[in-house]
Structure 1
Amino acid sequence: MKANAQSNAASSAQPVAQPGDPLIVIGALAPDNTLPLSVLHDGLAVRVPRWIRVDQGDQLEIRLDGYTLYTLVVDAPAAIGDFVDWTVPAQSLPQEGRHEMDYLITASSGFQFGTEPTPILINRTPPIYDNIPVPPRFPEEVIANGITAQYLALHDDQVLVEVPAYLGMQAGDRLHGFWAASQALLPVPVSASDIARGWIALVIPGDLIRATGDGRHTLHYHLTSRAGFDGKHSQIATVQVSLAS
């Protein structure tokens, strides 16, 4: 397959490759090059640095797990800039698992050279393997007595709810809580400290509790994986709000 290079001056917003560097994957999440949902949907941009001596007839192959996805035959060496960019089409990306990408240069003389492979990780699995999460846990005092004006006054005008650790929990996942069925709470990014302590803090602010008024209210949540895949909504927890009494 003969193709033209997409070559540009190095951009400060993107990684800068040096001759002989491994292939760079753009938009992958550190530290393990997890491909986010946006990349899996739009395709994976990759970058190959200009090799030391570019001659007419040189051939570049970009490979995934040893299989050639793209071939560029150099027509005009002067047209090759500091790097060659190409996007792996979304339909060419594997469904799941750990994979490796690299490139191979075949010089016009027939000499071949390549680099160390660049690992990528594709994880399309939603949190908890798409099972339904357990309900959030209200404080014992709230379970026993409900949410009262006195409780809010003594607890920084908020209720702190615990979401237990879950299977496959990763830093970078996101927790989305919903009060009174549809009132979205601020999303919570999962941190390494959350994993260490075994639960995530979900805050219901006093202003929102007052806005929804007295009565029996619900709380539930769903999780979004680090790669951007949404899980199922959790089981529901209910609590009595008695601000007027």
Structure 2
Amino acid sequence: MILTVDVGNTRIKSAVFENDTLVEVMVFPHENFFGTIENILKKFQNITVLAVASVGKLDVEAFKSFSDRVKIHFITRENAFPFLNQYATPQTLGIDRMVLAAGAVLQFPGQNRLIIDAGTCVTYDFVDENDVYHGGAISPGTRLRYESMHNYTAKLPLLTLEDPGSLIGNSTGQSMHSGVINGLAFEIDGYIDALQSENENFIIILTGGDANFLAKRLKNTIFANSNFLLESLNNLYLYQNRK
């Protein structure tokens, strides 16, 4: 069994896999790291590998306390990836984006792929049908959009994610919800439309914490999977350690 761990900016997501089968998913704050991982290893005593991708502030050394019980596999830029990286600044490309691109290549061979990760930031990553990674875009996610309106104005409240109900907000709160949710949906649809006009044989993968919330608001046909990064971690580990 493999335990995959995605250390994000605001929380940690982990999943237990038996071969290609996802057994259980856990989401928890950084401060609960040691206790949660300890409980997972006690519950699933057949776990032999802990595969980690981290963009958060959790120190790599934190994982080494479990190295006497499981193999720790850190995903780094020096690992083998199933795509040709044509990013102009590969040393700045986030490990999470590389894992998502790898997962798309391994799960959807021979297609043009756009991977959209709707989390703290929204990232767009394009890998063509020849498994060449070209790059993409980064924009603020829903939480950052709400926080920026509150932090950089005098009177706008701090809101949390909520269905705006309609395109036209009839109050300040509903107008803010419409701006955040509908604005982001229009952005995502516009990005997809622009890429699809230039590429055929296309699949769009939507993942991240806000994936399911946003999926039903998009006009484009997408493959929505909030656990795609965790699944990609599992597939990438198997790819990097194939015999």
Q: TM-score, normalised by structure 2?
A: 0.21
More helix by share: 2
Bigger strand fraction: 1
Report which of the two structures shows the higher radius of gyration computed on alpha carbons: 1
